[in-house]
Structure 1
Amino acid sequence: MHTRPSLRRTRGARPRTTARLTAALLTAAALLVSACSSGSSTSAGGAADAVLAALPRATPSALSSYYSQRPRWRSCGAPGFQCTTIKAPLDYAKPGSGDVRLAVTRKRATGKGRPLGSLLVNPGGPGGSAVGYVQQYAGIGYPADVRAHYDMVAVDPRGVARSEPVECLDGRQMDRYTQTDLTPDDQPEQNAVATADRTFAESCGAHSARLLRHVSTVEAARDMDIVRAVLGDPKLNYVGASYGTFLGATYAGLFPGRVGRMVLDGAMDPSLDARQMNLDQTAGFETAFQAFAKDCVRHSDCPLGSSGTTPAQVGDHLRAFFRKLDAHPIQAGDADGRKLGESLATTGVIAAMYDQGTWEQLREALTSAMKKNDGAGLLALSDSYYERDADGHYSNLMMANAAVNCLDLPPAFTGPEQVDKALPAFEKASPVFGDGLAWASLNCAYWPVKATGEPHRIEAKGAAPIVVVGTTRDPATPYRWARSLAHQLSSSRLLTYAGDGHTAYGRGSSCIDTAINTYLLAGTPPTEGKRCS
């Protein structure tokens, strides 16, 4: 896609906002494992035969020192929050060979009623800071009743933000990387895409060699079990959004007997291979764009058409605008001299597809760019997606995103020739975004570490009820993924939100919020097949 790193980036749960796409609360996407899987056969479409196997119930003696840690909490961040650091083995196969230090934050339960223990929250990714999410939103913005009965807790997964972050490119190098032309018109431009991905991968290998082999989702899930034990909770209560659903489902597959109340919102499907996942997401973004297009032409300020203009025509107008920017980037008022070209403009549009509350902002940004040659609005949307600040500094979101994605699954494509052959399928899935999204899927081709994961199913037999939430027009985690994961998990309840945007909890549906809050507080899952709008 025109968004530089993996298409498999998704954003996680956050408060609905009209003007702000803060990626401290928005994150990325990936999948899968093999270290604890049995079998490896996968069909071309990604229907995995492998099943994630549960770990032994007893904690190995070699890990006992990690499980028995006594953390030292200190005040941090906003009032009421505490922070600590917890150790986990770098390599679970060799616990004595080195550690990683995990950043953990919590806000103690505020009410006087019966305490329900800790509620671990992950907003998505891979690469999004869960610590930042809880301190900025969940710890103060989750429903009051939930915060009254639970300690709100988050841990940055290994390699992310405060937990020994993966490092790759510096700010200026990232600026160049995010502007790579992902709609190459000839062989030299195709070679440039490959060179950009290779340079990114080599930089990660040079700066983060120690970590790159040990940032898989399986390892992050095992880390969460150490955190659970250190907090003194017999079972893990958990809300995961977007990639956080894959992390949570992986935990359930590894430790089914330790699952407490678990909500997986904006669910991912671990049975898919990387190519099929990216193709599904391409179709998901097209679905979201169609919804945006229908809404846009109802407004007098829509720069892509007016009443009577079809979504297909809106798409044609947007593609024509992108082609114009490809040839002639426009000024964007950027202190570092960046102009708005096709890549950054497309990223800005993609960013706004995650939340229908941002559609007005997108219309305004497109109007400024198309009619006034002012690209500042679209550049701001793009920068929020990449977590780039005004000083030109990027968080490690995209570095960690690639590191986890490329370890969890074999690459979607191993070279430009494969991408070229797949273009018709991607363009069919999305006439607006398909070609760019296909080229974005090349990002793991040159990764310095071989993937340890594979597509697999997660059954989590013996787990307590798990609530899987899917949104029918979710761009980043298509609804079919929620249905698939719910079918795989032996104890799942599928909760459907018929609407737009990425994830559903805390985004304005009282039906969804009531169902999830009732489950978290009383342990009563929604009825099977419950549907909200």
Structure 2
Amino acid sequence: MPRSPHRAVAVLLPLLVVVVTACSAGPSQRPAVAYHDGEQQIAPAPQPPKPAPVPPLGPPAQDALSWQDCTEATRAELGVPALPPGTAFSCSRLPTTLDAPEDPIGGTARTSLIRTGTGRVPLVLVGDTRGEPGTTFAARTALRLPPEVLSTFTVIGLDQRGTGGSDAADCIPPQQRDAIAGFDPLATERPELDRLLDAVRVASQECLLELDERLQAYDTWRTAADLEELRLELRVPKLHAIGRGEAARLLTTYAERFPASVGRMVLDGGPDPTRDAIGQNEAQAQSAERTFDVFAEDCRTGGCPLGSDPRAAVAELLAAPPPGLPGGHVVRAMLRGLSDRERWPELAAALAAARGGDGAGIEAMVRPVVSSDGADPPWLDGELIRSCNDTTLRVPPQRTSEIAADWVARFPLFGGVAAQRLVWCSGWPVPQQPLPTPRRPDVPPIPVISTAHDPLQLALGTDHLAEQLPTGVPLSWQGAGHGAVGRSECATRAVARFLVYGAVPTEGMACPG
């Protein structure tokens, strides 16, 4: 696929550096020399692999999984009064290899699946681990996809390891879960943050006791293998998939591990691969602040219940929340509400009610994070375990205090909670290896969509992901929320054309908000 000149230069520069370095290395690293008719000739340098073409859709799935109708249960979980005519959902479980670090050839895991659509070619939808279960995300997103996608594909969603119905991690004691999720978002002093650290240590000890060898098996590296086992079970040559947010990192890890299995893939709002955990959390705080400003402006134009200055109103709420409403819950409710623009009126009303002493609306938005919701475990457990298993960085307590003071000053609404995520992993076992950097040059084109105002992923970071991927095709949506597919008509159409017809979007395409 043609690349723009500046992107081509970016790819060639590392190669030039390698060639120049090789000239000063030992003889074993010099180009091969051949002789022809007595003349010395230097063999041409090996060329890097070329991007693979967009693969065909391939044959229909031929899995032998036991699927059971779950339409009514899914409708209830989505919270909608009725489904579109003809819409049906079925659910199943896929046994996979646990592959725990202590016992890589023993143990099994169970992956919870859901499917819908009338097409026969599988399309896997994967969402974040810091939100609703992946099966719920896939069902909700499927209702927003164009008919041509649902008539071409069987949309399959899965709960990632440790979340939803996939061997859910429900191991943090309720007292510690409440302390972690509700911790003061304005805390910056070392003694204050030490209380959070104590809660995290108890949580990690309890999870280690309960999960044992399974604890460190809940990570992105091994979940990528679950996707490959799903592909093999479906008996299809390629895996077609959409990954939103942190699930984009899951798909790039899959591409590094199983490049020959990569089909038509789309990354929707992925994290910045050029930043460590500190940089990524800082970027998320920055992006959440910017998204709140868009929310505030939108609120003001519609008769905002927060008054003429929503930011000042929320800052006052965080400084003095009503009795029984932890400040950390307020921030988590805002992050959840800001992620879906359709929920902005609900968020504004909940914040206004909390200022008046009624925190019921805020607690309703944050309840799934800290409490079991039907068959689903609290979201916090899987989010904490997965985030700590996916990074080798461990930040000392004193450094965390310095970061918290800096971020609360620069990002007054969201900086504190972002810094607290670094505390989570302080006493966590360090994974054996970091996740691979996405660098496969021989996979098909991969559209990468950034959203201008995404409270969970900075648009610039997603742009860096597109630049890092040798076959990445950057798109942008000038809207607000977490994820463009199913929300931006323009971006959704471009994704549908790519998935159904193999039409690669124009590089640098921008969709209006």
TM-score (norm 1): 0.76
Question: Is the aligned partner of 1:284 residue 2:287?
Answer: yes
Q: 1:483 aligns with which of 454, 463, 466?
A: 463
Which entry has the higher C-alpha Rg, 1 or 2? Answer: 2
Question: Is the aligned partner of 1:148 residue 2:151?
Answer: yes
CA distances 1:438-476 after superposition (whole Å, capped 9, x unpaired)? 2332111111x2223436521122101111111011111
Q: Amino acid of the residue matched to residue 86 of structure 1?
A: P
Q: Percent identity?
A: 25
Question: Is the aligned partner of 1:400 residue 2:404?
Answer: no
Instruction: State the Cα distance separating 1:401 from its structure 2 match.
Output: 1.4
Task: State the SS of the aligned residue for 1:502.
Answer: coil
Task: State the SS of the aligned residue for 2:335.
Answer: helix
Structure 1 contact 471–497 (Cα < 8 Å) conserved: yes
Aligned to 1:199: 202
Q: Amino acid of the residue matched to residue 462 of structure 1?
A: D
How many angstroms apart in 1 are the aligned matches of 2:232 and 2:101?
Answer: 16
Q: 1:510 aligns with which of 474, 482, 489?
A: 489
Q: Amino acid of the residue matched to residue 301 of structure 1?
A: C
Q: 1:219 aligns with which of 204, 222, 237?
A: 222
Q: Amino acid of the residue matched to residue 470 of structure 1?
A: S
Structure 2 contact 238–262 (Cα < 8 Å) conserved: yes
Task: State the SS of the aligned residue for 1:96.
Answer: coil
How many angstroms apart in 1 are the aligned matches of 2:110 and 2:100?
Answer: 13
Aligned to 2:123: 119
Aligned to 1:16: none
Q: 2:263 aligns with which of 233, 236, 260?
A: 260
Task: State the SS of the aligned residue for 2:128.
Answer: coil
Gaps of 5+ in 2: 1-48, 50-61, 72-87
Question: Is the aligned partner of 1:85 residue 2:65?
Answer: no
CA distances 1:5-40 after superposition (whole Å, capped 9, x unpaired)? xxxxxxxxxxxxxxxxxxxxxxxxxxxxxxxxxxxx
Q: Amino acid of the residue matched to residue 83 of structure 1?
A: S
- Higher RCO (CA-CA < 8 Å; seq separation 6+): 1
* Deviating more after overlay: 492-501 vs 267-276: 267-276
Q: Amino acid of the residue matched to residue 229 of structure 1?
A: L
Question: Is the aligned partner of 1:523 residue 2:502?
Answer: yes
Could you say if the C-alpha distance between residues 156 and 194 of structure 1 is closer, same or farther in structure 2, counting changes exceeding 3 Å?
Answer: same
RMSD of Structure 2 on Structure 1 (CA): 2.6
Structure 1 contact 387–394 (Cα < 8 Å) conserved: no
Q: Amino acid of the residue matched to residue 354 of structure 2?
A: A
Gaps of 5+ in 1: 1-53, 55-68, 331-338
Question: Is the aligned partner of 1:319 residue 2:332?
Answer: no
Structure 2 contact 221–435 (Cα < 8 Å) conserved: no
Task: State the SS of the aligned residue for 1:467.
Answer: strand
Question: Is the aligned partner of 1:106 residue 2:85?
Answer: no
Q: Amino acid of the residue matched to residue 470 of structure 2?
A: S
Structure 1 contact 272–456 (Cα < 8 Å) conserved: no
Structure 2 contact 94–230 (Cα < 8 Å) conserved: no
Structure 1 contact 369–375 (Cα < 8 Å) conserved: yes
More helix as a share of residues: 2
Could you say if the C-alpha distance between residues 464 and 451 of structure 1 is closer, same or farther in structure 2, counting changes exceeding 3 Å?
Answer: same
Could you say if the C-alpha distance between residues 436 and 148 of structure 1 is closer, same or farther in structure 2, counting changes exceeding 3 Å?
Answer: closer
* Deviating more after overlay: 491-500 vs 451-460: 451-460
Q: 1:180 aligns with which of 180, 183, 190?
A: 183
How many angstroms apart in 1 are the aligned matches of 2:268 and 2:403?
Answer: 30
Could you say if the C-alpha distance between residues 267 and 362 of structure 1 is closer, same or farther in structure 2, counting changes exceeding 3 Å?
Answer: same
Q: Amino acid of the residue matched to residue 167 of structure 1?
A: D
Could you say if the C-alpha distance between residues 256 and 92 of structure 1 is closer, same or farther in structure 2, counting changes exceeding 3 Å?
Answer: farther
Question: Is the aligned partner of 1:458 residue 2:451?
Answer: no
Instruction: State the Cα distance separating 1:522 from its structure 2 match.
Output: 0.1
Q: 2:253 aligns with which of 246, 250, 255?
A: 250
How many angstroms apart in 1 are the aligned matches of 2:101 and 2:210?
Answer: 22
How many angstroms apart in 1 are the aligned matches of 2:100 and 2:188?
Answer: 44
Question: Is the aligned partner of 1:382 residue 2:366?
Answer: yes
Structure 1 contact 168–203 (Cα < 8 Å) conserved: yes
Aligned residues: 436
* Deviating more after overlay: 430-439 vs 247-256: 430-439
Question: Is the aligned partner of 1:341 residue 2:349?
Answer: no
Could you say if the C-alpha distance between residues 125 and 184 of structure 1 is closer, same or farther in structure 2, counting changes exceeding 3 Å?
Answer: same
Q: Amino acid of the residue matched to residue 129 of structure 2?
A: G
How many angstroms apart in 1 are the aligned matches of 2:226 and 2:188?
Answer: 45
How many angstroms apart in 2 are the aligned matches of 1:390 and 1:482?
Answer: 31
Q: Amino acid of the residue matched to residue 124 of structure 1?
A: D
Instruction: State the Cα distance separating 1:168 from its structure 2 match.
Output: 1.3
Structure 2 contact 193–401 (Cα < 8 Å) conserved: no
Q: 1:75 aligns with which of 68, 76, 82?
A: 68
Q: Amino acid of the residue matched to residue 469 of structure 1?
A: I
Instruction: State the Cα distance separating 1:479 from its structure 2 match.
Output: 0.6
How many angstroms apart in 2 are the aligned matches of 1:186 and 1:225?
Answer: 45
Instruction: State the Cα distance separating 1:128 from its structure 2 match.
Output: 4.7
Q: 1:351 aligns with which of 336, 346, 350?
A: 336
Structure 1 contact 414–446 (Cα < 8 Å) conserved: no
How many angstroms apart in 2 are the aligned matches of 1:387 and 1:180?
Answer: 12
Aligned to 2:481: 501
How many angstroms apart in 2 are the aligned matches of 1:453 and 1:482?
Answer: 23
Could you say if the C-alpha distance between residues 118 and 93 of structure 1 is closer, same or farther in structure 2, counting changes exceeding 3 Å?
Answer: farther
Structure 1 contact 198–446 (Cα < 8 Å) conserved: yes
